[in-house]
Amino acid sequence: MADIRQLFNVEVPAALSAKPDEARAIGGKYQLNITGAGNWTIDLVSNPPTATEGEVADAGVTITVAEADFQTLLSDPGAGMKLFFAGKLKVKGNQMLAMNLQKLLKLRS
């Protein structure tokens, strides 16, 4: 089980710092609200790209998911659509950005 706070406060910022051009190629501003873990903004438009704890009003997409379901998404990237259609992963805004969430998470590897 991944430590979500570690993921978004350490691992994602390190990946954005190490691969800023790849991050900006994904583009967009993400608001991730993970119920039970916290809220993060990932800005792939800024130079350099950033990941910060907290919320913004101008995100291109807001993704809301429970911590347990986000853990499922991390362990099985193909589960995103299942969670979405089951109503467990909510997307507000640009759905194409939401579909790039896995690309964003893969920057850590």
Check whether the bond before 48 is cis (ω within 30° of 0). yes
Nearest to 63 by CA among 23, 37, 98: 98
Say how many domains are in the chain.
1
In angstroms, the CA 78 to CA 73 distance is: 7
Segments forming the whole domain that contains residue 75:
4-106
| CA distances to 15, 16, 25, 46 from 107, in Å | 6, 7, 11, 17
- Per-residue pLDDT for 108 more than 90? no
pLDDT digit string (tens) for 33-70? 999 999 999 999 999 999 999 999 899 999 999 999 99
Q: At 25, which CATH number?
A: 3.30.1050.10
